[in-house]
Structure 1
Amino acid sequence: MSRGAWVEQIMGMPVSVHLRGAASGEAMPRAVEDVFAELREADRLFSTYRPDSQISMLGRGELELGDCDPLVSEVLSLCDKAREATDGWFDVLLPEPDGTFRLDPSGLVKGWAVERAAARLGKRWAADYYVNAGGDIALCARGDQPWRIGVEGASADTLVGVLPLFEGGVATSGNAHRGGHLVRPDNGRPAAELGSVTVIGPSLMWADVLATAAFVRGPDALDWLQVQEGYDAVVVALDGSVGTTTGIRGVVEAAANRTNHH
């Protein structure tokens, strides 16, 4: 089956769109252009690295929520639900050393934005696709050939297994790529007790939230993820040992000997 792939740098990371049924030499389909455009718009609104983003201006008190794009209210409402669903382990108000708090919805925004963009792509592309933004993946395989997604280990250059998936989302949280950027909402310190957490399930946004919350929880992450209905996970310890929820235990072990992924 022919396959095309297109990559752009958005939100400070490589974002790739992969289509089965499209040749790599073809011009970028309009549906793919729309994915990139939607993610650029999400970056304009929500990037904490851009001082002119609405979320940055809101956090500094230079903009009122009522004056923001309606998507900002939508995301912050979802963040409230995520905080409640994770017993506070996911939070957008993160403590700073000086006792203040910074507004940072990044742990939800990326999954939310990619899931939205992929859903639009799926309505316009009749065959298989996946969108990968820095390891957060929304995918759909409509035929009998799944996408095969590698599960990252404690370091960026290791794979602990491969998951054959037909639809849904895959999100990974860890420090392999960006150092200690994930902080505990209770004390503001970088989370560093696990190697990585990968969560799969029907919604990339919620997989992203659960992976973030589980990673900052630390050692009891696997037990907590085991009871998250509809989602499964792979938790990699700092020593490289791997634990999985029961729903995918056999699948990950069976795929761990394979080397080809995506």
Structure 2
Amino acid sequence: MNRVEHIMGLPISMSVDGFDDAQDDAFAWLREVDERFSPFKPGSEVSRYDRGELALEEMSDELHLILALCAYYEQLSGGAFSARPPGRGFDPCGVVKGWAVQRAADILRAAGASRFCLNAGGDVVTAGEAAPGRPWRVGVRHPDEPDVLCCVLASRDGAVATSAAYERGSHIVDGRTGAAASGLVSVTVAAPDLTSADALATAIFAMGRDGIAWAAEQDCEVFIVDADRKVHRSAGLRLA
């Protein structure tokens, strides 16, 4: 069964057989995240934190975790990934979406689901196989041709995230300078969980061409298209 809801400004689909209550809980969690952690909603916990309206003891455990994740990936990337780049407010979206969808997957697993696929606007978490002996197939859009795939990845019990400029324009910035990231047009990361995949994809894209070498040192596999349309693919990437 494929169930779709529009949350966090994008379509989120769950392909899973049964576990209706767990699906309800997972979607309810994602709607809660949208209300609490969106920097675009003035009343959200994130917006209130950014305006200095929350004392340390008033912050939720989840916000403390988001802040820790943002700090971790900023340190790991040498500042290229930043939830507060120069001249901008606090925006943890580079961590929140992957973390939230990964936790939705954890809700399904805790209920006993062992075969499913969650797709949040192209960022995907998979469990088990689509069918016996057949992995889930995750398509990666061509950066210049919206109706064409440049590759299809095979995923079993893992996650795939893509950062690119073709959907939302130059929305990813280099946290070290505050300028729009350049040098790469598409970064796809396959990792064990979507929290890591999403944050690493954003960090690599923010680094530009330097991110290609940096990606090889991380616990992930990548499919990167640079501004010259040259493909950089890690050896362990599994294609369908």
* Shorter-chain TM band: over 0.9
Partner of 1:12: 9
* Distance (Å, rounded) in 2 between the aligned partners of 1:66 and 1:194: 41
Once residues 147 and 229 of structure 2 are traced to their aligned partners in structure 1, the CA distance between those partners, rounded to angstroms, is 12
1:137 positional shift = 1.1
Counterparts of 1:32 and 1:49 in 2: how far apart (Å)?
26
Tell me the CA shift for residue 218 of structure 1: 0.6
Which residue does 1:132 correspond to in 2?
Answer: 119
Cα displacement (A) at 1:171:
0.8
In the TM superposition, what is the alpha-carbon distance from 1:29 to its structure 2 partner? 1.4
Opposite residue 36 of structure 1, the aligned amino acid is F
For the residues of structure 2 that align with 1:85 and 1:118, how far apart are their CA atoms?
25
Out of 148, 153, 157, the position equivalent to 2:142 is 153
Aligned counterparts of 2:95 and 2:147: Cα–Cα separation in 1:
25
Classify the secondary structure of the residue corresponding to 1:35: helix
For 1:135 and 1:85, the matched residues in 2 are separated by 24
What per-residue deviation string (whole Å, max 9, x for no partner) do you get for residues 183-240 of structure 1? 11112111132111000011211111110010011112221111213x1000012343
Q: Does 1:190 align with 2:177?
A: no
Pair 1:32 & 2:29 matched: no
Deviates more, 1:29-38 or 1:121-130: 121-130
Distance 1:212 1:201 in 2: 13
| Correspondence list, 1:157-172, <5 A | 157-172=147-162
2:109 to 122, 128, 145: 122
In 1: Cα distance, 2:41 partner to 2:106 partner: 26
Asked if 2 retains the 8 angstrom alpha-carbon contact of 1:35 and 1:121, the reply is yes
Match of 1:203 among 182, 193, 196: 193
2:55 corresponds in structure 1 to: 64
For residue 178 of structure 1, report the CA deviation from its aligned partner: 0.7
Structure 2 residue matching 1:8: 3-state secondary structure: strand
Of 87, 91, 94, which residue of structure 1 is paired with 2:85?
94
Question: How much has 1:91 moved relative to structure 2?
Answer: 1.3
Counterpart contact for 1:89–1:217, Cα < 8 Å: yes
2:128 paired residue number: 141
Compute the displacement of 1:34 (Å): 1.1
Contact 1:175/1:196 (<8 A) preserved: yes
Q: State the secondary structure of the residue aligned to 1:247.
A: coil
The corresponding residue for 1:219 is: 209
**Is the aligned partner of 1:54 residue 2:51?**
no
- Return 38-47 or 86-95, whichever deviates more: 86-95
Structure 2: stretches of 5+ with no match in the other structure: none
Displacement of 1:64 in angstroms is: 2.5
* Identical positions, percent: 39
The answer to whether the 8 A contact 1:222-1:244 is kept is no
Q: How far does the alpha carbon of each residue in 1:132-154 deviate from its partner, in whole angstroms, 9 at most, with x for none? A: 11111111115532101112231
Tell me the number of residue pairs that the alignment of Structure 1 and Structure 2 aligns: 237
